[in-house]
A and B are shown apart, each in its own frame.
Chain A
Amino acid sequence: MSKKDTIICRCEDVTLEDVEAIMNEGYTSFEEIKRILRVGMGPCQGNTCGQLLQREISKFLKVPLNEVETHKVRPLITGVKLKSIVEATKDES
């Protein structure tokens, strides 16, 4: 099976081969893999890849799916121009 052609994270173009390589190095939590490969940090914010990566971690560690923690989501959920934020807050003291 060609793992380099199996896409786990479409937004950041991360393949199953990339994910397995990093897990073999010992990075097996969602947060670690996210920081190294940027999985879940693109436009979909993990809505698509989240459950795929969770499944791969579960298979790799041989633990049930419900015991694999997913990532913490933080504001802002989509791209916002700094200009927009500045304009909205310039009247605040």
Chain B
Amino acid sequence: MINKDLVIIGGGPAGLSAAKLAAESGLSSLIVERDFKLGGQLVKQTHMFFGSEKQYAKTRGIDIAKILVDDVLKYPEMVEVMTDTTVVGLYEDKVITLLHNDEYIKVQSKAIIIATGASEKVLAFPNNDLPGIYGAGAVQTLMNVNGVLPGNDVVMVGSGNIGLIVSYQLIQAGVNVKCVIEASSSIGGYKVHASKLKRLGVDILTSHSVKRANGTEALESIVISKLDNNWDYIEGTEKTIEVDSLCISVGLSPLSSLLSMIGVDMKYVSSLGGLVPYIDSHHETSVKDVYVAGDVCGVEEASSAIVEGYLTGLIVASSLGFKHENYDELYRDFKAQLENLRSGPFGEKTREGLQEIARDHDVK
């Protein structure tokens, strides 16, 4: 058994930021990452971020990943990193079991930060298992990390920011994006992204969904249909579109499996993406010394995950006796940044969702 003060599960924006603030406070940590490299989903985000400079606005996602990784590599004695390593078990006494190259490793930790992020949602329609049907995030990985095009003719399902940005990146890569369809009566993402697509001649069809896919060996065409106010298909509005790829971008769902394993109190909150843990203002779950940061406690932008990581790292270090010299100042700053990121109309659902999972009448 290996003993650690802090294990951080997930080496994406939240996990890396938590490790940085823990190290700055004097607390060592171990980051466990399933992928071959650190950075999480930032490594495929070639677009520039919005927001304020504190969260690296006007910087490309892939470059933010480099900054966050370099930040923790500055502390080689404090931050240990295990990549290509999967957490296979989590137990209430804070024992974590890891698998790395067929080696099974047991770790006892004093505190744990779960920063596992989220996974893509899918849709149920006939022939939804045909080759050529992808999650939009998967397509982004394929194109921007592996340099492989998904196909020639694509329809995007979902007009949230991921759907809009990936559609634009598909066009940049030379793929014909036939249209974007959206089940809701309005476009989900930022207008600036939607306008870019419109200017390139891509239609965004609201109140539309995919009814079925056709093909024998692989995807050949899809049938789309208009939806009524109850989101039911309207008969007679079907249209067949020839495509070899379909991208599904209908939202993300928090990766809460590890939380379920140790019986953390959770609630289904649709505005946060699905099943999320109840947390207090310190991001601690109902299981003592088990904390969460990032999309696992509510799907938001990467900028929020970064700040939540900083905040949680700062708090956990302090709870283990390593109080940062500027604790009060940083605590106030991170809380203010989060409040700022969640202000305005786009943050409304997040604000309401977080009220629902607040423990002890405490707000995140």
Spell out A's residues near B (CB within 8 Å).
1-3, 5-8, 10, 16, 45-48, 50-52, 55-56, 65-68, 70-78, 80-81, 83-85, 87-89, 92
Contact = CB atoms under 8 A, between A and B. Distances in A.
Place the interface of chain B in its size category.
35 or more
8 contacts: A6-B126, A6-B128, A52-B123, A66-B270, A73-B257, A75-B88, A75-B91, A87-B103
Contacts of A48: 119, 122
Nearest to B261: A73
B142 interface: no
Contacts of A88: 103-106
B83 to A, nearest CB: 16
Q: Choose among A50, A51, A65 the residue with the greatest number of B CB atoms under 10 Å from its CB.
A: A51
A52 B86 contact: no
B190 interface: no
Interface in B234-270: 253, 255, 257-258, 260-261, 267-270
A6 to B, nearest CB: 5
A46 B253 CA distance: 11
Contact of A6 (B102, B104, B125): B125
A5 B102 contact: no
Nearest to B356: A66
A86 B176 CA distance: 53
B47 interface: no
A10 B130 CA distance: 11
A11 B261 CA distance: 21
Given A77-B88, A80-B88, A16 B104 contact: no
Given A5-B126, A7-B124, A88-B103, A77 B86 contact: yes
A75 B212 contact: no
B257 A81 contact: no
Contacts of A51: 121-122, 253, 274
Given A2-B126, A16-B124, A52-B124, A47 B257 contact: yes
A77 B103 contact: no
Contact of A66 (B106, B258, B269): B269
A33 to B, nearest CB: 14
A52 B258 CA distance: 20
